[in-house]
Amino acid sequence: MKNKILHNISQKYASRWLVLSIDLLIVTITFFISYFIRFNFKFEFDFNSMLIQIPFVVFAAIVSFIAVGSHKGVVRFTGFKDIINIIIGVNILATLLIVSTFFSRKYIQNEIFNVPGSIIYIHLLLNIFFLIGFKLFIKSMYNALSSDFVDTKKIMIYGAGNNGMITYDAISNDPKKSYIVIGFIDDNESKVGKKIDLLPVYNLKSITPELVSKNHLEEVIVSIQTIDPPRLLNITGYLFDLGLHVKIVPPVQHWIDGDLSIGQIKNIKIEDLLGREPISIINPTLINEYENKVILITGAAGSIGSEISRKVSLYNYKRLILVDNAESALYDVQQEFNSKGISNIEIVVADVRNKLRIDQIFNQHKPNVVFHAAAYKHVPLMENNPYEAVSVNVGGTKNVTDIAVKHGVEKFVLISTDKAVNPTNVMGATKRTAELYVTCLGEKGKTRFITTRFGNVLGSNGSVIPLFKKQIEKGGPITVTHKDITRYFMTIPEACQLVLEAAAMGTGGEIFVFDMGEPIKIFTLATNMIILSGLRYPDDIEIKITGLRPGEKIYEELLADGENTKRTYHEKIMIAKTRNIDSHNLEEQINKLTSINSATQPLEIVSTLKALIPEYISNNSTFEVLDDKKNKNRINN
């Protein structure tokens, strides 16, 4: 019922002619008051002369107000521009009266147009005061009445600088009036204790449980553009402990048309607490890179493949071919594109292990650029299923790359992982083998092969973020394999932007790696997520250490032994300088590996992998026995 009443009120707007009529009434009343003030609040003036002048004053006011359109504004939304319009309008009115008085005294000698100068100036000031005051009074009355029907939150803004004031203005001008700002928080002690627009400025430690309770404070909006992620984590942790919700204002470049609106203020996400600045790549050459090209993406239904598809869809490509063997997930991607009205895509259900089928797809669509994202990626599962890992990550990659060379594809981009660096598990070893095979093909045909290597992707299928969310929703505990385990992290958009950038930048044979900043402890990530959920560790949610899984290592690396980097034109992107390899011998070993066609021979498969990748040393795995044998052979030799 309340919402219905509010809706009815909000849909009713006063006629602009009614607004003009009220403005003219105010001008008439202030004209009388001006005479009264001028003659010391006594009726010692010619009342008849004043009455004769009123029609002319009203006419001049009509001309002035229509000229500036001050009557067209919605009174309850009166803002700074409306106030300026009123001031301009009453100044035009005063100017018309002064000019008419001048000509009347000099040429006409008519009482109607001869308004005393002192009266004009008093009238001007009274008009400014009463016209603006009246509109602000109506606005405040509407806000007071509507607040009875709207659920409002009392909030504070963290940041009393320019961005804080922009946020304050956006909230103040929000028609829904869902927030009431009761103060600011700032780290600058010179601002603490002072007032901004009559609102007090506090430091963080001043926000106590007593203050929260007394002011019925519910939420804090962080509005600082250059805040460090560790500092942001400290702030959110402190505020969450007080039972407050925390939101954050997005970077200026994400504001719509350069203006901030309430709808853009979002809840803090785990990406905001990564401990590094988000990686941003803006490269105009990408537009030309995909202009009128047929682009094929394998693994297009996965987290990375689907995001690459979304980003590529923003360019003026000729056709987009999405290949995956997961039909349900691929169907979801298809429906997403259909809902956006994107029609020049082809959805293909196919397995990269089927060489004949892949060849048919390439022959039919003749792609110019290929992004190969199809792979098995779960470390523990692949440790128990090495045959499947090799068949997809090595055999599937071999099929797609061989066919790319056969059909003269311009560029081939392999999506790799930091687990390929000094691998300790089957999955990482197969991805490193795929990297090496791509390197072998660098001199065959015209296809330019490029590899992108990055760390863990936040929010991807099977990653720790969705797992931790489910565990928190169930009340815990969160499971972490080791308290010191660390990983490099990036968001899905960052990872996919790197892939597109690499495709444009690469000339063939490069392995691109990101400067991803400092790795973050998974244990820290878990505690951060507990905080973001509005809970506390260990009071509300516990973290359980389960022990390292087979093949898992504590620290990940982005560069293998014998590799170093050279810089590119982007400060966050580097090229790994790899050691020289015997392409012919390596290709023979890979062919031998992919020819093992029995899943019942895991030791033979992994042994062949270890011969291919000398730095592959198993960790916490049944395959460690092969490393013991390898070490004994080294000693005997």
Pairwise CA distance, residues 170 & 158, whole Å: 15
Maximum C-alpha span of the chain: 125
* Cis peptide leading into residue 386 (ω within 30°): no
Closest CA to 559 of 391, 432, 470: 432
Structure tokens at 93: 């009115």
Q: Is the distance from CB of 226 to CB of 159 less than 8 angstroms?
A: no
Pairwise CA distance, residues 272 & 421, whole Å: 27
Pairwise CA distance, residues 193 & 44, whole Å: 52
Where are the alpha helices (H) located in 162-251, listed in sequence order? 162-172, 209-215, 229-241
Q: Spot the catalytic one: 135, 419, 431, 521.
A: 419
Cβ contacts of residue 3 below 8 Å, gap of 6+? Answer: 149
Q: Is the distance from CB of 215 to CB of 182 less than 8 angstroms?
A: yes
With H, G, I as helix, E, B as strand and everything else as coil, classify residue 573.
strand
Where are the alpha helices (H) located in 39-105, listed in sequence order? 47-68, 80-103
Pairwise CA distance, residues 77 & 138, whole Å: 9
Eight-state DSSP code of residue 256? B
Eight-state DSSP code of residue 78? -
Where are the alpha helices (H) located in 368-463, listed in sequence order? 379-384, 386-389, 397-406, 426-440
User: Does residue 431 carry a catalytic annotation?
Assistant: no
- Listed in order, strand segments (DSSP E) in 326-447 are 345-349, 369-372, 411-417
What is the separation of C-alpha 348 from the centre of its chain, rounded to a whole number of angstroms? 31
R_g of the chain, CA atoms, integer Å: 35
Cβ contacts of residue 528 below 8 Å, gap of 6+? Answer: 233, 270, 273
Q: At what angle do helices 229-241 and 522-532 cross, to 10 degrees?
A: 50
With H, G, I as helix, E, B as strand and everything else as coil, classify residue 161.
coil
| Angle at CA of residue 427, ends 425 and 428, nearest 5° | 70
Closest CA to 326 of 347, 295, 312: 347
Name the amino acid, one letter, at 448. R
The catalytic residues are 419
